[in-house]
Amino acid sequence: MSRPSLLHEVRDKNTVFSFMQTQASPALNVDKQILLYLEGLSVSFDGFKAINNLNLYIGDGELRCIIGPNGAGKTTMMDIITGKTKPDSGSAWFGQTINLLEMDEPAIAQAGIGRKFQKPTVFEFLSVRDNLVLSMPDERSVFSLLKARISGEQQDRIDEVLSLIGLVEQQQLGAGSLSHGQKQWLEIGMLLMQRPRLLLVDEPVAGMTHQEMDRTAELLISLSGQHSVVVVEHDMDFVRQLAGKDRTVTVLHQGSVLAEGSMDQVQNNRKVIEVYLGE
Amino acid sequence: MLLWKLIKDDRGGQILLALLAIAILLVPMLNALPADHALHLPTYTVALLGKYLTLALLALSVDLVWGYLGILTLGHGAFFALGGYVMGMYLMRQIGDRGVYGHPELPDFMVFLNWDSLPWYWMGMDQFWFAAIMIMLVPGVLAFVFGALAFRSRVSGVYLSIITQALTFALMLAFFRNEMGFGGNNGLTDFKDILGFSLQARETKVGLFVASAVALAIGYLISRAVIQSRLGKVCVAVRDAESRARFLGYRVENVKLWIFTLSAMIAGVAGALYVPQVGIINPNEFSPLNSIEIVVWVAVGGRATLYGAVAGALFINYAKTWFTTELPDVWLFALGAIFVLVTLFLPKGIAGLFRRKEANA
């Protein structure tokens, strides 16, 4: 649970986290230890059911891996959670009080859901540092942005994240000049700045070297606990590394949950083998 | 001090503002020299320079939305023309009973149409302060309403460009109609004086030139203040990765809306300064081609630099004046050639030349 860190942040007058809390519509309530409820979700595009009666619960502080063949609805699911796509039916709640289906993307982001895209998406014409500055959960309205300044604490936080993602020396460079792997890291850094309660990560290790993959796995594992992390990934080695022995893995197939359990259970599940190996 | 902060890292802007300051001092002095002096600057040239400066201000406003927000507006001429029409209305009211028909209140074209009183929207236009507010308010409100509709429904890219074209085209057709009360296809002209100074007087023309230069400098500094703030960085972020900005919690449509509105207001001021210097405003200013031409100025000057837009507008308009007097048939070919050459050899426009030097230094 993140209570101690939350208390700690509330005590400091100017911390960004408390500001974000007041911005978010109703306060987040995770009394039942569940952060995200997706129930009976369905959405179809031109008759094709991308999501079909999907039920998924993500615990508070959990690290959940989601796998599934192409077209299983992984990205559509993320689109629904982040407000980009509205489902035809079903419900999506963030904690027990926040109805995600009534909010648009910025509101959901401000409520504490961060998203990393499959393709690294950073602001190429801004410096690495400015990318992080814009990601802080700070001013969001047009007129306060005009006179926004960076406080000392925010400065420290930026430096901390910069060293965590290994881009201290590149901080004044344009983000467009970074390598593919570095952009992935910068995007992860932007999510860290955002301090979301729930982090949705779409194929984080695409195009990364093995060392970078190991570092990413380490980072994501260290983030769980304080944040809930949902990772969608194709790379089985990476999923095994993340899930370890006891974390839950969810297999999506044709828009609904096919199997759920530990990595070993899932791998030995008959239905999963059928879907993956076509037997 | 505060102003210096705005242009501290902006070599192009420093040069631009320095040149404007020199022009404000030098042009009136050279113009005041006796006509046979070698350095004498004819009043005609002063008015021409003043006109260029207002067009540069217009280009600046387009660069703000196109260069920094990625909204390719092909209808900014509409905001310019609206500002111009408001100024034209004020100038018409200043004519008083000196019109051809000698009516104490109604402009000539209304007498000609057998109208017996001023339409309600001409009320108050005889007061300069009121007109001055309207010069910014009318384009601003139009841009706000248009932007609210377009950006909320997430119209972007080519579609938005086409709607902006439609906007200016529709306004052009509307202003061509006599019953609109804006002089139909003749527009508003035959102005006599502004704030009590005769528009024919040399001093007034110099004054309008200085006002245009000051307006350009202020417009530049305001745009610079926006661009330098975190809002400016959010603009660039929206331009380059709109959905990423949304998922970070920024209300992209609000950012677009306010910058678009600000830009339209700047364009309105530019139009208002343009009209007394050219002496006429008519519906052709709404012509879609005009708006496209502005975009060409900005492209030639270099996007997303602000000073590049100014340089592009001055360069193209000077070239236009030169060609249309010396080789009138060649002008359109020359414009095409300039555009092609700049695209080929100076993809970052005239401002790109500066930036290369900065990078080497």
Tens of pLDDT, residue by residue over A91-124, are 999 998 899 998 999 999 999 999 998 888 999 9
What is the pLDDT averaged over residues B156-183? 95
**Interstrand relation of A98-99 and A89-94 (parallel, antiparallel or unpaired):** antiparallel
Residues B118-148 have pLDDT tens digits of 999 999 999 999 999 999 999 999 999 999 9
Q: What is the largest CA-CA distance in chain B?
A: 68
CA angle B12/B15/B19 to nearest 5° reads: 140
* Amino acid, res. B258: W
Taking contacts as CB-CB distances below 8 angstroms, the residues of chain A near B242 are none
What pLDDT is attached to residue B296?
Answer: 94
Q: Is the dihedral of CA B165, B170, B173, B177 positive or negative?
A: negative
Given B233, B239, B243, which is nearest A134 (Cβ)? B233
Q: Which residues of A touch B5 (CB under 8 A)?
A: none
Residue A24 has pLDDT above 70, yes or no: no
Put simply, the answer to whether A122 touches B244 (Cβ < 8 Å) is yes
* Whole-number Å distance between alpha carbons of A63 and A267: 18
pLDDT at A118: 82
Residue A126 contacts B, CB cutoff 8 Å: yes
Both tokens of residue B41? 């600057």
Quick check: B117 contacting A, CB < 8 Å? no
pLDDT bucket at A5, cuts 50 / 70 / 90: low
CA A76 to chain CA centroid, Å, is: 14
Residues of A in contact with B234 (CB under 8 A): 134, 145
Lookup: tokens for B142? 């139009």
Q: Is A124 on the interface with B (CB under 8 A)?
A: yes
Q: B51 near B274, Cβ under 8 Å? A: yes
Across all residues in chain A, what is the average pLDDT? 86
Asked whether residue B350 carries a pLDDT value surpassing 80, the answer given is yes
Region B200-219 average pLDDT: 96
Q: How many residues does chain B have?
A: 361
SS3 readout for chain A:
CCHHHHHHHHHCCCCHHHHHHHHCCCCCCCCCCEEEEEEEEEEEECCEEEEEEEEEEEECCCEEEEECCCCCCHHHHHHHHCCCCCCCEEEEEECCCEEHHHCCHHHHHHHCEEEECCCCCCCCCCEHHHHHHHHCCCCCCHHHHHCCCCCHHHHHHHHHHHHHCCCCCCCCCEHHHCCHHHHHHHHHHHHHHHCCCEEEEECCCCCCCHHHHHHHHHHHHHHECCEEEEEECCCHHHHHHHHCCCCCEEEEECCEEEEEECHHHHHCCHHHHHHHHCC
pLDDT mean over A32-46: 91
- Determine the average pLDDT of the residues in A260-269: 90
Instruction: Quote the minimal CA–CA distance from A131 to chain B in Å.
Output: 8
Reported ipTM exceeds the 0.90 cut = no
Closest CA to B9 of B232, B299, B260: B232
Q: With a cut of 90, say whether residue A32 has pLDDT above it.
A: no
Question: Mutating which of A146, A191, A193 best tests the B interface, going by the most B Cβ atoms within 10 A?
Answer: A146
For residue A13, pLDDT over 70 is answered with: no
Q: Which of B227, B247, B252, B253 has the most A C-beta neighbours within 10 Å, making it the best mutation to test the interface with A?
A: B247
Q: How confident is the model at residue A23 (pLDDT cuts 50, 70, 90)?
A: very low
- pLDDT (0 to 100) of residue A138: 82
pLDDT given for residue A176 in this prediction: 93
What pLDDT is stored for residue A12 in this prediction? 60
Q: What is the pLDDT of residue A14?
A: 54
Partner residue opposite B249 with nearest CB, options A140, A146, A147: A140
Digit-coded pLDDT (tens) for B32-53: 999 888 899 999 999 999 999 9
**B259-273 confidence digits (pLDDT tens):** 999 999 999 999 999
Note whether B230 contacts A: Cβ–Cβ < 8 A. Answer: yes
Most B-contacting residue of A16, A103, A125, A150 (CB-CB within 10 A), to test interface: A125
Q: What is the mean pLDDT of chain B?
A: 93
C-beta separation of B49 from B317 below 8 A: no
- Which of A206-210, A248-252, A275-279, B273-277 comes out lowest in average pLDDT? A275-279
Confidence band (pLDDT; 50, 70, 90) for A1? very low
Structure confidence at residue B164 (pLDDT): 96
Residue B187 has a pLDDT of 94
Cβ(A188)–Cβ(A219) below 8 Å: yes
- Residue B270 near residue B54 (C-beta atoms within 8 A): yes
Kind of pairing, strands A98-99 and A34-45? unpaired
Judged by CB atoms closer than 8 Å, whether chains meet at B241 and A147 is answered as: no
Determine what percent of chain B is predicted with pLDDT higher than 90.
Answer: 85
Residue with tokens 């079903």: A90
- Taking the CA of residue A267 and the nearest CA in chain B, the distance in Å comes to 34
Contact B233 A140 (CB under 8 A): no
**CA-based diameter of chain A, in Å?**
62
Q: Is A123 on the interface with B (CB under 8 A)?
A: yes
- CB of B237 within 8 Å of a chain A CB? The answer is yes
B236/A121 Cβ within 8 A: no
Of B225, B229, B241, the CB nearest to A145: B229
Burial (CB < 10 A; 0-12, 13-18, 19+), residue B172, is buried
Query: Would you call A134 and B249 a contact, using CB atoms and an 8 Å cutoff?
Result: no
Domain count within chain B:
1
Q: Is the dihedral angle over the CA atoms B321, B327, B328, B331 positive or is it negative?
A: negative
Q: Are B49 and B31 in contact (CB under 8 A)?
A: no
How far is A206 from B39, CA to CA, in rounded Å? 68
Cβ distance A134 to B243 less than 8 Å, yes or no, reads no
Interface probe for B, chosen from A85, A110, A134 (most Cβ of B below 10 Å), is A134
CB contact under 8 A, A110 and B249: yes
**Structure confidence at residue A6 (pLDDT):** 52
Query: Both tokens of residue A132?
Result: 């992080």
How close B245 comes to chain A (CA, Å)? 8
Residue A109 contacts B where some CB pair is shorter than 8 Å: yes
CB contact under 8 A, A142 and B236: no
Query: Is A19 touching B (CB cutoff 8 A)?
Result: no
Q: Which residues of B touch A146 (CB under 8 A)?
A: 225-226, 229-231
What is the tens place of the pLDDT at every residue in A148-198?
Answer: 888 899 999 999 999 988 899 999 999 999 988 889 889 989 998 988 999
Structure tokens, B99: 């019109």
pLDDT of residue A211: 87
- Confirm or reject contact between A22 and chain B (CB < 8 A): no
Contact B244 A142 (CB under 8 A): no
Residue A81, pLDDT > 60, answer: yes
Higher local confidence (pLDDT), B219 or A164: B219
Cα–Cα distance measured from residue A89 to residue A96, given in angstroms and rounded to the nearest whole number: 19
Query: pTM of the predicted model, to two decimals?
Result: 0.90
Domain A3-277 CATH superfamily? P-loop containing nucleotide triphosphate hydrolases (3.40.50.300)
Q: Do B248 and A134 touch (CB under 8 A)?
A: yes
pLDDT at A140 over 50: yes
Q: Do B67 and B309 meet the contact criterion of CB atoms below 8 Å apart? A: yes
pLDDT in tens, B6-33: 888 888 899 999 999 999 999 999 999 9
Q: Does A101 touch chain B (CB under 8 A)?
A: no
The answer, for A130 touching chain B at a CB cutoff of 8 Å, is yes
Predicted confidence at residue A249, as pLDDT, reads: 93
Q: Which residues contact A31 (CB under 8 A, 6 or more apart)?
A: A96
| Tokens 């007061």 found at | B127
Domain that holds residue B125: 2-360
What's the pLDDT at B73? 95
**Nearest residue on chain A to B229, judged by CA atoms?**
A146
Q: Give residue limits of the domains in chain A.
A: 3-277
pLDDT confidence of residue A4: 44
A3: pLDDT confidence band, cut at 50, 70 and 90?
very low
**Contact criterion met (CB < 8 Å) for A106 and B249:** yes
The size of the A-B interface in CB pairs under 8 A is: 82
